[in-house]
Amino acid sequence: MQKRILIVEDEAAIRDMVAFAVRKGDFDPVMASDAREAQEAVADKVPDLILLDWMLPGTSGIELARRWRKDALTRDVPIIMLTARGEENDRVSGLEAGVDDYVVKPFSARELLARIRAVLRRSREDEEDGSVQVGGLRIEGAAHRVFANEQPLTIGPTEYKLLHFFMTHADRVYSRSQLLDHIWGGNVYVEERTVDVHIRRLRKTLAPFGLDEMVQTVRGAGYRFSATAAIA
Ligand code: CA
């Protein structure tokens, strides 16, 4: 059964290119050129994933994302935002509206399919026995033990929490303030640059195993943890 992917994009040339790529990836594309068509498509059948252009005439992509996140029907549908260069400042607000990931225009079909597959894979994986495996990293949740390429890893308590969060939320971009909320529990006395400090330490811990590149910086947005190679 092919997964249905809704493409919301007002520029016909980009929409057709994206639909072509999606079809090539063995997915079933459904197209919409504005918010109204997108809502109709979702009402007709809830898609497995939504590719959402930021700049749409009338209702913006971000406003649509916010609505879908509030609606029980679409709350869990992954959304990948299609943004233009120069919209980096808006990405944090996109993350806060519940967007899962970004692809920056112009992008190749290969890049787009890699992100689609990663986001679909993540939404399928659930932590069951407290153990999590992403690429060469494995956490035994109950014992709080981390293995890098099956070697036990010595890791600080904050880095452990950060890594555990990342591994159970792989392939999704988080802003610094979202990471603060999740890892530090919304402690108002912790500054956002504290996140960068612990990210640096985490990378340093993973570097001897060649796994530091799993912690990816997403320019203008925050950080993403991924087993797949970094896509800028
Ligand atoms: Ca547009």
Q: Which top CATH class is 127-225?
A: mainly alpha
Domain boundaries, the chain: 4-123, 127-225
pLDDT tens figures, 80-107: 999 887 766 677 777 778 888 888 888 9
Among 39-53, 85-99, 100-114, 132-146, name the one with the lowest average pLDDT.
85-99
User: What is the distance in A from the centroid of ligand 1 to the CA of 160?
Assistant: 40
User: What is the distance in A from the centroid of ligand 1 to the CA of 22?
Assistant: 18
User: What is the distance in A from the centroid of ligand 1 to the CA of 55?
Assistant: 4
pTM: 0.68
User: What is the distance in A from the centroid of ligand 1 to the CA of 214?
Assistant: 31
- Give the pLDDT band of residue 185 (cuts 50, 70, 90): confident
User: What is the distance in A from the centroid of ligand 1 to the CA of 12?
Assistant: 9
Amino acid, res. 71:
D
Alpha helices in the chain (DSSP H): 12-24, 35-44, 61-70, 88-96, 109-124, 157-168, 176-184, 192-206
- Give the pLDDT band of residue 50 (cuts 50, 70, 90): very high
Counting Cα atoms < 13 Å in the Cβ hemisphere of 159 gives 18
**CATH for 4-123, among 3.30.460.10, 3.30.43.10, 3.40.50.2300, 3.30.70.20?**
3.40.50.2300
- Does 109 have pLDDT greater than 80? yes
User: What is the distance in A from the centroid of ligand 1 to the CA of 9?
Assistant: 6
User: What is the distance in A from the centroid of ligand 1 to the CA of 61?
Assistant: 9
User: Is there a shared CATH topology between the 4-123 domain and the 127-225 domain?
Assistant: no
State the average pLDDT for the chain. Answer: 87
